[in-house]
Amino acid sequence: MTLAAAILAAGQGTRMRSSLPKVLHPLANKPMVQHVIDAAKKIGAKDIHLVYGHGAEMLQQQLQSQPVNWVQQAEQLGTGHAVMQVLPSLADASQLLVLYGDVPLIQPETLQQLLAATPENGLALLTVQLNNPTGYGRIIRNPQGAVLGIVEQKDASAEQLAICEGNSGIMCIDAEFAKSALPQLSNSNAQQEYYLTDLVAMAVAENRPVHAVIASNAAEVSGANDRVQLAALERVYQSWQAEKLMRNGASLADPARIDIRGEVTTGQDCKIDINVIFEGKVTLGDRVEIAANCILKDCSIADDTIIKANSMIEDSQIAQACEIGPFARLRPGTQMDAKAKIGNFVETKKTRVGQGSKINHLSYVGDAELAEGVNIGAGTITCNYDGVNKFKTQIAANAFIGSNTSLVAPVSVAENATVAAGSVITKKVEAGQLAIARGKQKNLDNWQRPVKK
């Protein structure tokens, strides 16, 4: 039996006070609905139906690369009505998993439990035990514990409101039952909507099996209706990620002050200080140390590398035992070989820094190739851009570039060459040469400094 997923994402989300559709608001730098799509993929959903309404153009633009079947709900007449729109696309021999685009923390493991509990010709629902279930539909059970139905809060009696088991809204339905039951839903209720939850009572009335799985963590089934709730879910998500890092052998100075907005893999004995942000895919080797206030995006850091405070690394590859920062910025295409060093207030872009080479301070090195043992003095820049095109600077092994040098690309400095401080280099420096390219110094006597008028 195949699995199909229906993700309900048609709501406007007025409480977000935003022109952005609610389900596109980000959690960990990824739209809420994308988290739900990813969960459906992980459990093997063959067909993913996205039920949309408000903000259709923005949704389709943001999710254009996703393997979803777009299903329009022109009028928002309730959850049951939303799922009805999926029926024409639903295969007969399948299970239909109903998910919500604004419930981003649902875990694949929990969904697997729900699928395993889904009976043939019936349904299974995901419930949650809450100390304060205000806003949730209540699960009605008989004395033997069997589920009889779900009553929405606005339709519940005082006795029913005292029930602490709430309905998450997530359920898995046998396709045959869904196709027969959904068209029979009624909107005779306080909201005048077609409730998906009425399927439970209908299944019981037809003697179809109804099973319930209780979620182990309420955060998994919590929705975000406003920015306050979304911020709370963000903190939950980040706490989960921090715990995962620590269990994999990383030490965090403060687990509450780290943000993971992608996928992070760590080796053993990594040390991560406060306010570090990871974006995209980041890989850390063993014994990597990251000081406070660093941002790492789509990069790999090999063993024993130290990243000092306030540094940014993006789309770069760092070999073992390198040293970076503080206040360094490694832009895309930077590659550091073993034991290389990029120091404070240095910016690199599309540059290879060879083994043991150093760019210690106050420099910009872009579109460059540095062999091993190169020393770049403070204030050096590669002039790689003529206003239209980019050109490359090549510096061979053991070259020494003096402070405040401008290397006007395309240009090369051969092995063991030296460039005097303050030079503007426009042509090749041969092996072992000393290049001096600066005006002759003049010292004028009796110079009168300007004074204020």
Is residue 225 marked as binding? yes
Report the alpha-carbon distance of residue 314 to residue 297 in Å, rounded.
Answer: 5
331 annotated ligand-binding residue:
yes
Q: Is 100 annotated as a binding residue?
A: yes
- Residues 299, 317 contacting (CB under 8 angstroms): yes
Q: Does the annotation list 421 as a binding residue?
A: yes
Cα 211 to chain center, whole Å? 34
- Tell whether 167 is in a known binding site: yes
CB 346 within 8 A of CB 368: no
* 116 labelled binding-site residue: no
Q: What residues contact 439, with CB distance under 8 A and at least 6 apart? A: none
Catalytic residue among 25, 35, 81, 361: 361
Q: 141: annotated binding-site residue?
A: no
73/53 Cα distance (integer angstroms): 5
Residue 136, marked binder:
no
Alpha-carbon 101 to chain mean position: 16
- 385 marked as binding residue: yes
Residue 64, annotated as binding a ligand: no
Region class of 333: left (phi > 0), else alpha (psi between -120 and 50), else beta = left
> Do the annotations mark residue 80 as ligand-binding?
no
Any known ligand binding at 315?
no
Q: How far apart are CA 247 and CA 123, in angstroms?
A: 36
| Signed CA dihedral, 63, 103, 257, 247: sign only | negative
The reply, when asked if residue 269 is annotated as ligand binding, is no
211 catalytic, yes or no?
no
The DSSP result for 117-179, as a single string, is: HPPTTSEEEEEEE-S--TTSPEEEE-TT--EEEEE-GGG--HHHHT--EEEEEEEEEEHHHHH
152 appears as a binding residue in the annotation = yes
Which helix or strand (DSSP H or E) is residue 260 part of? strand 258-265
Catalytic residues: 361
Could you tell me which residues are annotated as the binding site for Mg(2+)? 102, 225
User: Binding site: residue ranges?
Assistant: 8-11, 22, 73, 78-79, 100-102, 137, 152, 167, 225, 331, 349, 364, 375, 378, 384-385, 403, 421, 438
Task: Tell me the binding residues for acetyl-CoA.
Answer: 378, 384-385, 403, 421, 438
Annotated binding site for UDP-N-acetyl-alpha-D-glucosamine: 8-11, 22, 73, 78-79, 100-102, 137, 152, 167, 225, 331, 349, 364, 375
